[in-house]
Amino acid sequence: MKKLLLFASLLALLSCKSTPEGKTLNLTEEVRTDASYLIVLSMDGFRWDYPMLYDTPNLDSIAEIGVKSASLEPCFPSKTFPNHYSMATGLHPENHGIVMNSFKDPVIGRYKLSDREAVQNPDFYLGEPIWVTAEKQQMRSACYYWPGSEAPIQGYYPSIWKKYDGSVSYEARIDSVIDWLQLPEQERPHLIMWYFDEPDHVGHNYGPEHEITKQTIERLDSLVGVFCRKINSLPNKDSINLVFTSDHGMGPIDAGRAIELDQLLKEEWVERVEAGNPVVMIQPNKGFEDEVFQVLDKVEYMRVYTKETMPEAFHYTESERILDLVCVADSAWSLYWNAESYATGGTHGYDPVNRDMHAIFYATGPAFKKDMEHDSFKNIHLYSLFAKILGLDPAETDGHLKEVETMLN
């Protein structure tokens, strides 16, 4: 695996400019139409226990007719883009390259979510997402805002994909997915991955246990019900598998539990910082490594790791995009670099051992058993699960089908 990823990294370094050209299956090519369908919806920041806290009758019904896991464990850091891409590739962030929502590659340059050119630059994305696996094996795929799907990774786009536009309503996204499932058979995608940006925003703004968060969760559940009813009206409903999941959970924070690291370190000690509360990566200037570490090591309510002391469970050392020091706040604490103000409400990014970081996993359809509660599992196993359902030969990953295959018929 590491040799394969090293080779992919070298290829990326040799082609540092964005290459927008990519291929999809054209209408004249022979495509696979024999497989069942897999529709995967991610609702950003949907914590594992929201269905216990709030009224979610549609997800509850799916648990009765399909599979529900106790929780879905994210990779470290439990952030949006790293984990959506882990779900798609079966790789830890150190291996697929999206190590934070914002980072700098030493050769390619800066990656951040608001930079359209960076998001569409395939050189940032290592590994093989499941839609690329499908397209390589003559199966049409579609992505509606799934992180990573806007770049021609390994030269492939999904057969259908869209540039992110948060103003498009969830109802419109539902209608698009239903329309795709009614396309002529040669044009119809068998893999669809799509995305809602809530309840992440309300979780950040108000915290996981707030009336507005409750209202958002219950609205999302009602949309799940609308979508399922529309699926059940399709003539091919009996061959459609549905997965409802998320990238991470949400933990409560307040302004009284905040650490600002730039107040503790001298400016000349630090070369570069990548910050995303509650994780801050720091690259010390040469000659000041010991001073920086010694100061950070004494800070309460956070941990500082070198690449030598990084917990093995984090899988967060094998990338040049990861800086020499990684600081992680304790649960419920915030960690900033030069903050203008301290956030209240909620955040994510903590050690995945924190149960608040865990997400949901619900699934139903012909591939899945009925009324089964599965143990918690790591999201790196999803790629193998998806490939199995679709009958695809999988790429090499960090995940294992054996961890999830008991939920399958």
Same domain, 224 and 169: yes
Residues 402 and 307 grouped into a single domain = no
Do 384 and 332 lie in a common domain?
A: no
pLDDT in tens, the chain (409 residues): 544 444 444 443 333 333 356 777 765 678 888 889 999 999 999 999 999 999 999 999 999 999 999 999 999 999 999 999 999 999 999 999 999 999 999 999 999 999 999 999 999 999 999 999 999 999 999 999 999 999 999 999 999 999 999 999 999 999 999 999 999 999 999 999 999 999 999 999 999 999 999 999 999 999 999 999 999 999 999 999 999 999 999 999 999 999 999 999 999 999 999 999 999 999 999 999 999 999 999 999 999 999 999 999 999 999 999 999 999 999 999 999 999 899 999 999 999 999 999 999 999 999 999 999 999 999 999 999 999 999 999 999 999 999 999 999 9
Q: How far apart are CA 186 and CA 163, in angstroms?
A: 24
Tokens linked to 70 = 């106790």
Residue 348 in domain: no
Shared domain check, 224 and 290: no
Asked whether residue 397 is assigned to any structural domain, the reply reads: yes
Cα 53 versus chain centre, distance: 23
Neighbours of 354 (CB within 10 A): 16
- Does 338 lie in the same domain as 263? yes
Q: Which of 301, 320, 343 is the last residue of a domain?
A: 343
Nearest 5°: phi and psi at 362?
Answer: -130, 140
**Has residue 242 been placed in a domain?**
yes
Give residues with Cβ within 8 angstroms of 73, minimum separation 6: 352, 357, 358, 376, 377, 378, 379
Same domain, 285 and 319: yes
Handedness of CA 164, 169, 171, 175 (dihedral sign): negative
pLDDT at 10: 40
Hey, which residues are catalytic here? Answer: 80
Domain holding 20, by residue range, is 2-252+353-407
pLDDT of residue 75: 98
User: In the block, which residue shows the tokens 């905040």?
Assistant: 258
DSSP of 345-388: EEE--S-TTSGGG-B-EEEESTTB-SSEEEPPEEGGGHHHHHHH
Q: Please check whether residues 335 and 361 belong to one and the same domain.
A: no
pLDDT value, residue 6: 42
Q: Tell me the one-letter amino acid at 308.
A: E
Listed residues 343, 361, 389: the one ending a domain: 343
Which among 343, 363, 389 is the end of a domain? 343
What pTM does this model have? Answer: 0.93
Is 178 found in the same domain as 32?
yes
From the list 378, 277, 268, the residue with the least C-alpha distance to 337 is: 277
Question: What's the CATH code of the domain at 361?
Answer: 3.40.720.10
Which pLDDT does position 7 carry in this prediction?
Answer: 42
Amino acid 29: pLDDT = 75
Tokens of 44: 């950003």
CA 84, CA 75: separation in Å to the nearest integer? Answer: 10
- Note the pLDDT of residue 28: 63
CB atoms within 10 A of CB 116: 12
219 and 193 assigned to the same domain: yes
Q: Are residues 223 and 321 in the same domain?
A: no
42 and 131 fall within a common domain: yes
Residue type for position 158: P
CA–CA separation, 139 vs 119, rounded Å? Answer: 24
Which residue bears the tokens 């950070």?
296
Q: Which amino acid is at 244?
A: F
Q: Is residue 171 part of a domain?
A: yes
pLDDT score, position 11: 40
Instruction: Find the CATH number of the domain harbouring 309.
Output: 3.30.1360.180
Residue 235 CB neighbours (<10 A)? 8
**Total domain count, the chain:** 2
Length of the chain: 409
* DSSP codes, 180-210: HTTS-TTT--SEEEEEE-TTHHHHHHH-SSS
Quick one: 93 exposed, middle or buried, by C-beta within 10 A (0-12, 13-18, 19+)?
buried
